[in-house]
Structure 1
């Protein structure tokens, strides 16, 4: 049994799917919409809403779909590289219930040879209501050493094209938000 055949771990909906072939001439949506799903009954908590951990699960699936979009798949990982999430900030805006259709968008805020700064937005696909957002910092890693490593030039070119297409998007209000309890001066 290979690691990909194991069933005792989290498996994303895109696992085993090959990366999408990149077309330099194809238009790039701003923001990208590469993942849609429905709220599964096992994602519900004791309040009957999607559990907070499942929001992160769905945002992770959106990242995985984005990886396939830019050229990262199992073959890429087998060659010794991957993207790791190092920080995530989630804003929960509205509740999601069983079988609600979810549409996710991804805005590439910035990148350099070793890092991606992305912003996900989760909407109800029928009503358009914003349900949650997630801001993430991802690192490109050489998996053998566990250390950051520059992405190959083709990935960097693809990210530059996406970033150029997303440059006209405004930076969402949630980006860079710091958690804290505001105190008034006495």
Structure 2
């Protein structure tokens, strides 16, 4: 059975060092635009933007300490809401660089912001805002993150608190009149 596989699957998690400086923002994922992501308009299809943002989230999970072993223990982070803003087209072969900012978190939720930029020109191509919830997979319900992950999220959030909150965060969608 075919399933979606991220480029980080099977790579484990990064060791956490409490003394290490947390980059603000995090820059954990780079990729060229795959020919499989290009649609009949000759540029990256809208669903593939979400795919690449999802890969960036997976890189973040591993930075935080969430990998296959963690999920086998019955817990994971699930996305409950996403807002994508497409700014520019990306075509096959172009390099993409992604950044991630932790905007907020509590014991069960994480609010993230991603930027996708052209890897050579640094032009902003797209942004994504995600709200994630920590779940107990077997119970199908939200659950508190373990204390060690809450501690790591707090460290990342402290570092990212110095970053400006992007103007699109929390903005409702609609037709302005």
Which residue number corresponds to residue 73 of structure 2? 79
Which residue number corresponds to residue 145 of structure 2? 151
Find the partner of 1:120 among 91, 114, 123.
Answer: 114
Find the partner of 1:12 among 6, 20, 40.
Answer: 6
**2:162 matched to 1:142?**
no
Name structure 1 gaps, 5 residues minimum. Answer: 1-5
**Deviation per residue, 1:75-104 (Å, 9 max, x gap):** 000000000000000000000000110000
Find the partner of 1:43 among 31, 37, 40.
Answer: 37
SS in 2 for 1:136: strand
TM, length-normalised to structure 2: 0.99
**Deviation per residue, 1:43-89 (Å, 9 max, x gap):** 00111000000000000000000000000000000000000000000
TM, length-normalised to structure 1: 0.94
Which residue number corresponds to residue 172 of structure 2? 178
- Which is higher, the Rg of structure 1 or of structure 2? 1
SS in 2 for 1:59: helix
Deviation at 1:182, TM superposition (A): 1.6
**2:13 matched to 1:53?**
no
| CA distance in 1 between partners of 2:148 and 2:59 (Å) | 18
Aligned length: 177
Deviation at 1:177, TM superposition (A): 1.1
Name structure 2 gaps, 5 residues minimum. Answer: none
| CA distance in 2 between partners of 1:88 and 1:119 (Å) | 10
SS in 1 for 2:19: coil
| CA distance in 1 between partners of 2:175 and 2:52 (Å) | 28
Deviation at 1:136, TM superposition (A): 0.3
**Deviation per residue, 1:132-181 (Å, 9 max, x gap):** 00000000000001100000000000000000000110000110111111
